[in-house]
């Protein structure tokens, strides 16, 4: 029986894009439900009742519901070459995925959001200031690794690459251009040439 997948999604969300990219590369058909996060559609009582995390992305797979983009990536990629069975490879992939949420996404996604959609909010300068070091530092961690590796884990494209691809290309929107990071720019081009790649918008 065909898998019944629904993704609650926002076109402007890098976390949602990670899931769209994986679904496309796995060739999995799914129903996309757009959520206008700028209009507060992720904060309505109805949405919260379905999804206690009240954020996108959110996946419904048959009768199984799952939030958090990286949990969704792992769930969907299990059994595919994008998340190999080997436990140490999986641990390495997860290492990058935790780094992404704690360092890169935490800085790039947040600063991009406030610069783009909350520029006049009085709290915005303090938020930008709080992330001023973390953003470039996480880009440098990525750059240092990619100087000597084509992919984040082992010799193959995996959900670690998909995960980091969500926000790394958006770093310029957070005020951190990618000119000082040639290895990251080369990796971005490699990811764009993987089979089934789809752009964010
Ligand atoms: N850690 C979460 C972060 C999800 C998140 O921050 N989603 C944002 C869009 S990228 C959102 O739904 N914002 C709307 C809101 O907070 O109401 C994940 O990786 O899925």
Residue 14 Cα to ligand 1 middle (Å): 9
Total-model pTM = 0.98
User: Which residues have any ligand 1 atom within 6 Å of their CB?
Assistant: 10, 13, 15, 37, 42-43, 54-57, 68-70, 101, 109
C-alpha span between 157 and 137 (Å, rounded): 23
Q: pLDDT tens for residues 91-103?
A: 999 999 999 999 9
Q: For residues 196 and 21, is the Cβ–Cβ distance under 8 A?
A: no
Question: CB count, 10 Å around CB of 103?
Answer: 17
Ligand 1 atom at minimal distance to the Cα of residue 57: 20
**Average pLDDT in the chain:** 97
Q: pLDDT tens for residues 50-88?
A: 999 999 999 999 999 999 999 999 999 999 999 999 999
């Amino acid at each position: 029986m065909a898998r019944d997948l629904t993704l609650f999604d926002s076109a402007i969300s890098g976390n949602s894009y990670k899931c769209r990219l994986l679904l496309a590369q796995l060739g999995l058909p799914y129903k996309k439900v757009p959520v206008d996060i700028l209009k507060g559609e992720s904060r309505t009582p109805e949405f919260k009742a379905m999804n206690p995390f009240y954020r996108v992305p959110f996946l419904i797979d048959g009768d199984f519901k799952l939030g958090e983009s990286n949990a969704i990536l792992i769930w969907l990629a299990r059994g595919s070459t994008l998340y190999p069975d080997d436990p140490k490879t999986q641990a390495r992939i997860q290492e990058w995925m935790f780094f992404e949420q704690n360092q890169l996404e935490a800085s790039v996604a947040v600063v991009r959001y406030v610069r783009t959609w909350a520029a006049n909010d009085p709290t915005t300068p303090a938020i930008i200031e709080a992330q001023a070091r973390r953003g470039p530092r996480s880009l440098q961690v990525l750059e240092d690794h990619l100087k000597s590796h084509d992919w984040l884990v082992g010799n193959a494209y995996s959900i670690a690459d998909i995960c980091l691809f969500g926000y790394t290309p958006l770093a310029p929107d957070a005020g951190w251009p990618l000119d000082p990071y040639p290895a990251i720019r080369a990796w971005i081009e490699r990811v764009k040439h993987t089979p089934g790649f789809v752009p964010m918008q």
